[in-house]
Amino acid sequence: MPGQHRAVAPESLRRRSGMLKAEATHDFDEGIVRDTVVINRDSYPEDWAYSDAEAYYTQSLKNRDNVHIVLRDNGKSVGYLFAITHNAAMIELKADDQLMKPDARAYYIENVAILPAFRRRKGFSEMLQVLREELRKRGISKISLHARVSNRLSEVVQENMKIIEIRRISAWRYYNYQEPTDYIEAEWCP
């Protein structure tokens, strides 16, 4: 109101609404694997968990072709985005999505997850910006992903990127066949 001082938000509130910081990881570290596995476990329904997550991320984070981005709140890991080459994804997923075509100039977002308490603070957008920069260094401007429909992720990607291809798969194995997914190929808007 005019003439009134704005109330100062309490410290706890200021911290909650502050910026989360996204950063690409370049050196392998077992702590990052542990954080990744915990965030993954706490981000999805219990019966979607995959048993070999630790082994998968231990191996995958050592592969320098892959891009791993960590999201932090005051130094604590609260989310991550993991991307692999589109062609590597095609090999992993050939039994689940036979319509993917090879593309040596694209990266596939294999997973993105943020702990529930840290969502809706632009963490996904922050990580996507860092991914854009990491891929730019590699001469890549195209991504692919299977985006969840139920939590609006597919819609958010459609609203923010230039869509090249999109098609729906009605029941996706990695969501325990309980939800649809949208397969998307997209580029960043200039």
Residue with CB nearest ligand COA?
124
Both tokens assigned to 55: 């082994």
Shortest Å distance, C-beta 64 to ligand COA: 24
Crossing angle of helices 153-160 and 123-137, rounded to 10°: 50
By CB under 6 A, residue 123 contacts ligand COA: yes
Shortest Å distance, C-beta 87 to ligand COA: 20
Closest CA to 124 of 100, 153, 162: 153
In this chain, which of 5, 6, 64, 120 binds ligand COA, going by CB under 6 A? 120
Shortest Å distance, C-beta 138 to ligand COA: 22
Q: Give the span between the Cα atoms of 71 and 5, in whole angstroms.
A: 34
In this chain, which of 32, 147, 157, 161 binds ligand COA, going by CB under 6 A? 147
In this chain, which of 59, 63, 125, 178 binds ligand COA, going by CB under 6 A? 125
Both tokens assigned to 44: 């999805």
Q: Give the span between the Cα atoms of 184 and 190, in whole angstroms.
A: 18
What is the three-class DSSP state of 102?
Answer: coil
Q: Select 69 or 140, whichever has its Cβ closest to ligand COA.
A: 69
By CB under 6 A, residue 156 contacts ligand COA: yes
